[in-house]
Structure 1
Amino acid sequence: MTTAPPLTLFGSLRWDVVRREFPPAPRRVLEVGCGQGAVGVRLAAAGHDYTGVELDGASADVAAARLTDAGLPGRVVHGSVDELDRSAAGPGPTDRGYDVVCAFEVLEHLEDDAGALASWVELLRPGGLVLVSTPAWRARYGPMDAAVGHHRRYEPAQMRALLAGAGLADVGGRLYGAPLGYALEAVRNQVARRRLDDRTTTAERTARSGRLFQPSSALQGVATAAATWPFRVVQRALPQRGPALVAWGTRPAA
């Protein structure tokens, strides 16, 4: 497999959950808010037909370059989901649309999360999967949430209702991140209190969210994988505990 870009510590915990919920390749995949492409390269390397969209131009450039440098097919669109060619991605016959629409740490940044989710469902083929991750538990909203433009955190039941309200079936989800995620959140909140300027717009905070704590070297990636390995094993046994959430649902067959 192509050497994948390094993940953050929290990203490593998340990917361990996400990859287990992803359907086998090949699938036509859209990632909303692809950031710097760490997940996108992994999906393309696994054999998926990958498209990423990213509002932050600097992050989109990094994501596109990472696909190119790895010699992988796929594309990254700088902009919103509305920038996509809906004639090739919209609902319709089974040879059109996406098999998977995924968005990791995106919904909490959107004021109209229900409207966004409904628009993503429209891009799915019948039987297609929506797969999302978000921070969990409203009571845990803290300085880092505010600093990176989060409108909210989600209760697990709230997320299930949101997915069902968008017309998805077979809705499910699980928590992740216990125990390491709690410590990582505490550190991030301290960083936000001491270092991050809160005199910025919500859009600017959202843009920087994809750049914070991002490792850049292969050595950092190896170190992160090694450091998180025991915690990834532990969290697999704790699907009802953790400060973060992965959830999913499928578009019913027409």
Structure 2
Amino acid sequence: MPSLALTQRSATELKRINQAFYDALWSGARLVDPSRFNTWPMVRELAMALPRRLEIAPGLRPRLPLDGTYFVDISLAALHELRSHGASAARASIGALPCADESFDLVCALDILEHVADDDKALRELSRVAAPDARMLLSVPLHESAWTAFDEFVGHYRRYEPGQILRKLESHGWSIEQSAIYGMQPTSKTVLGLGQWYLTHQRERALWWYNRVIMPLGLRLQKPLKWQRGMPACEGVDELLLLCRRA
């Protein structure tokens, strides 16, 4: 679970840590087209059916189509690259979206909630900008017992227990329609420790390897995702992709 030092960080400090990490990551990266991710078969029909779309903090790994989607991110490097590819993008955070009430039919926030201190505020904003019959795509890391120093290093504030994220979504008026087992954090503490050391002491070199070698290889090795109704059995699952609907 999060360390005491992490839980005592202010929301401002947490935002600064996240922005510094991801600005460095995206400054040396190229935008990856959404169709190259294993999420694409799952979101393609949704995107075609729901033309008013918002994706929050995609960095240079957007999952929704660039054409017709409105993107929000805090990284200037990411915003510059998104706009250079013709996307509409604004600088803002999930806690203060520059969008009108009920203005989107599909809202996407992958790997975001765990990065903010006040996830209820974030969910209130997502709910505010979502239309009455909107869909929401979320992904969250699971199990406090799986917390590592790497979570802290990349700016995570928490991991969720399956029942916890279910109840939290329900309290904000969302129900889980479908879910998929998503993402896989290396279980080797040695690998995680080595990655953290290089990112701390040789960040430029580590990010070059990540963006030019590890990321392209990871795209080739992606496994197909499969929707199932409701929540799956989550023992040993590192991360969930959730498709939610306004209750």
TM-score (norm 1): 0.67
Identity within the alignment, %? 20
Q: Which residue is equivalent to 2:38? A: 16
Structure 1 window deviating more from structure 2 (136-145 vs 24-33): it is 24-33
- Which residue of 211, 227, 237 corresponds with 1:215? 211
Please tell me whether the aligned partners of residues 111 and 151 of structure 1 are also in contact (alpha carbons under 8 angstroms): yes
Distance 1:44 1:145 in 2: 29
Q: Is residue 2:247 matched to residue 1:244?
A: no
Unpaired runs of 5+ residues, structure 1, are 69-73, 92-96, 199-210
Name the residue aligned to 1:6.
32
**How many Å separate the matches in 1 of 2:208 and 2:156?**
14
- The reply on whether 1:78 has 2:78 as its aligned counterpart is no
Contact persistence 1:18–1:246 (CA under 8 A)? no
**Kept in 1: contact 2:31–2:81 (CA 8 A):** no
The residue correspondences of 1:74-223 to structure 2 (distance < 5 A) are 74-81=87-94, 82=96, 84=98, 86=99, 89-91=100-102, 97-177=103-183, 181-183=184-186, 186=189, 189-197=192-200, 215=211, 221=216, 223=217
| Cα distance change on mapping 1:175 and 1:220 into 2, 3 Å | closer
Secondary structure in 2 aligned to 1:162?
A: helix
Is the 2:54–2:70 contact (alpha carbons within 8 Å) kept by the matching residues of 1? yes
Give the counterpart letter for 2:239 in structure 1: A
Structure 1 residues 31-75: Cα deviation after superposition (integer angstroms, max 9, x where no partner): 111212x325x5135xxx20111112222222222x23xxxxx30
Change in CA separation of 1:83 and 1:108 when aligned onto 2, cut-off 3 Å: closer
Match of 1:34 in 2: 58
TM-score by length of 2: 0.68
Amino acid aligned to 1:195: Y
Q: Secondary structure at the match of 1:134?
A: strand
Which residue of 2 is the match for residue 225 of structure 1? Answer: 219
Residue deviations 1:144-183, cap 9 Å, x none? Answer: 1000111111122211111111111355433224xxx243
1:55 equivalent in alignment to 2:74: yes
Which residue identity does 1:60 align to in structure 2? L
Distance 1:175 1:144 in 2: 21
What do residues 196-229 of structure 1 show as CA deviations (whole Å, max 9, x unaligned)?
Answer: 449xxxxxxxxxxxx7975259x964x443333x
Change (3 A) 1:140 1:115: same
Query: 1:187 offset after TM fit, Å?
Result: 6.5
Distance in structure 2 (CA, Å) of the matches to 1:115 and 1:212: 35
RMSD: 3.4
For residue 18 of structure 1, report the CA deviation from its aligned partner.
6.4
The Cα of 1:236 is off from its aligned counterpart by 4.1
Q: Distance in 2 between matches of 1:174 and 1:110?
A: 23
